[in-house]
Structure 1
């Protein structure tokens, strides 16, 4: 007697879960709300010109702020990358530095082994003796 094996399918249903809601308000959402408001307004008492102009000004401001934000992100990224590249030419060279604290002035000289960046102090030259010096405290750079 022959047995028939049921065919198993390799097909699976696509994910039917709903997309997660975000709390980001963007210009498209604002524009859709404005158009819905215009389409559903009471014909006997339409929106006044002042309200419409105020909402369009808010829309324009929102769009300009988003553009400025994107441009600022790009400028900050470019500035960060150019600073790392700019300071990386010190690696392998000997630097002289002068650091001033509230009580004393520290002078030193050492070879730079790397450049790093911290949020608190900015760009730092990491020296072969284990210390780190702000790149703004460097007084001279010499070939090693």
Structure 2
């Protein structure tokens, strides 16, 4: 993982911005105002002790919340870093993730899977080539909810071997006639690298394909 240092321009611009107030600054301002208030209070109407106690309690609460927030942010950063380091063990491994790409090497079997959100009476899988033409149909019949692993033998419906290349999986599932059931294709891919993304750890699967760590259904 490469870390790029901030540019000189960014550093200069940051130096022109006013510093972000901290809890210590807020406390100093509060104490200064409190001392001024005590010095200038009306002897006939002195500062109420209950009011003073309330103000001190509010300052303590704000300071405590800021410290708690800083500790929480630090914990999150450490957790994210640890997750990336642990996920590095996936580099070079094969994972099963959502995707409809089916990379075929002629003469070999290519595994894939179907993820069923619910049970279905009828599940059908079609494999299309780059031109969008259907080359293979699978009628899987009824399937329960969950992941069903399958394999394509690389042959077309006519029994002829298909050329090497990337094909596309399409899944259709129905329950009780025309009621559609959510079903999606799963593909196997090799993990090239891992990195911290905006939504957690991101896996680079090559060929401009990415997946999140939470997408992984199976690790081989």
Fold in common (TM above 0.5): yes
Matches within 5 A, 1:1-144: 24=21, 26-98=26-98, 104-119=183-198, 121-142=199-220
Change (3 A) 1:23 1:118: closer
The structure where helix makes up a greater share of residues is 1
- 1:141 Cα deviation (Å)? 1.9
How many residues in Structure 1 have an aligned counterpart in Structure 2?
Answer: 123
Name which structure has the greater RCO, CA cutoff 8 Å, separation 6+. Answer: 2
Change (3 A) 1:21 1:98: closer
Change (3 A) 1:94 1:83: same
Return 5+ residue gaps in structure 2 as ranges: 1-16, 100-114, 116-180
The structure where strand makes up a greater share of residues is 2
SS at match of 2:194: strand
- 1:35 Cα deviation (Å)? 2.2
SS at match of 2:36: helix
SS at match of 1:117: strand
Change (3 A) 1:126 1:23: closer
Asked if 2 retains the 8 angstrom alpha-carbon contact of 1:98 and 1:105, the reply is: yes
SS at match of 1:26: helix
Q: Distance in 1 between matches of 2:201 and 2:20?
A: 35
- 1:83 Cα deviation (Å)? 1.2
Asked if 2 retains the 8 angstrom alpha-carbon contact of 1:27 and 1:62, the reply is: no
* Per-residue Cα deviation, 1:78-135 (whole angstroms, up to 9, x for no partner): 11111111211111111122467x965121111111113332x432211023311121
- The two structures have a TM-score, normalised by structure 1, of 0.71
- The residue number in structure 2 matching 1:12 is none
SS at match of 1:125: strand
Return 5+ residue gaps in structure 1 as ranges: 1-19
Asked if 2 retains the 8 angstrom alpha-carbon contact of 1:91 and 1:114, the reply is: yes
- The two structures have a TM-score, normalised by structure 2, of 0.49
Point out the more displaced range, 91-100 or 73-82: 91-100
Asked if 1 retains the 8 angstrom alpha-carbon contact of 2:80 and 2:200, the reply is: no
Query: Root-mean-square deviation (CA), in Å?
Result: 2.7
* Per-residue Cα deviation, 1:60-86 (whole angstroms, up to 9, x for no partner): 112211211221121111111111112
Change (3 A) 1:113 1:136: same
